[in-house]
Amino acid sequence: PQDYQEYMRLMLDMITLAYWADATRVSSFMLDHGQSNRYFNFVDGVQGTWHALSHWKDASGDTEDDDGITSWGSPEVKRDQYNLVTEWHHRQIAYFLGRLKQIKEADGSSLLDNSAIVYGSSLADGHEHSAKNLPVLVAGGGGGSIRSGREIRFRRDTSMSKLHLSLLRMVDPEIERFGETQDAMTELNG
C-alpha cells in the first residue's frame, strides 16, 4: 500500500496471523530505521523526515541530516514534532498488541498472554546517538513466564543481553549465555 499506516498495519496483521497459525514463533520487524528519510507529513502537525526530526536540537534545516527544504521555528517545535512521530509509532504497536489480545486460544487465554513482544529503539537520544538508558517495552505474558503490568527501572549500565538471555531461556532453559552475559534478568519472572 502507498499509505504508510496501511502498510504498517498490514505487516503487523501478517505477524499476528503467523503467530496464530503457529507458522512461526519468532519474528523481527523494524518500524523504521534510524537513517530513515521517510517524510511523516501525514501525521498532523509534522514536517520533515524521521531522521531530521531525530536531530531536534538543530532547527535551522541546514545540517547534513536535514532535507535542505524544511526548517523549524525552534528546537522545541522540532522536538515536539519528533515526539508526535514517536507517538505514531507507539500507536502502531498498541494496534498490534490489541490484535494479539483479541485472539483467543483454545484454553481461553489470548495470543498476547502466550507471547513475549519486545519493542524498543537502538537509540535513547537520536540527537546525541546515545544508546544509554534505552526505552524498552516487554509486552505479553510469555505463556505465564512474564509478570506484566509494571515498570521496572534498571541501572543505566544494565546490558540488553540480560533481557535477551532471559527471553531465550523461556524457550530453552539450557542456553548458557547471550552476548557478554550469563546472567538473565529475574525481574521478568511471573
Amino acid occupying residue 8: M
Maximum separation of any 2 CA atoms in the chain, in Å: 58
- Quote the CA–CA distance of 130 and 164 in Å, as a whole number: 20
Q: Is the pLDDT of residue 141 over 70?
A: yes
Q: Please tell me the predicted confidence (pLDDT) of residue 142.
A: 92
The residue among 170 and 103 whose pLDDT is bigger is: 103
Q: Is residue 100 within 8 Å of residue 16, measured between CB atoms? A: yes
At 21, phi and psi to the nearest 5? Answer: -80, -5
The pLDDT tens digits of the residues spanning 86-140 come to 999 999 999 999 999 999 999 999 999 999 999 988 777 777 777 777 788 999 9
Cβ-in-10-Å burial (0-12, 13-18, 19+) of 116 comes to buried
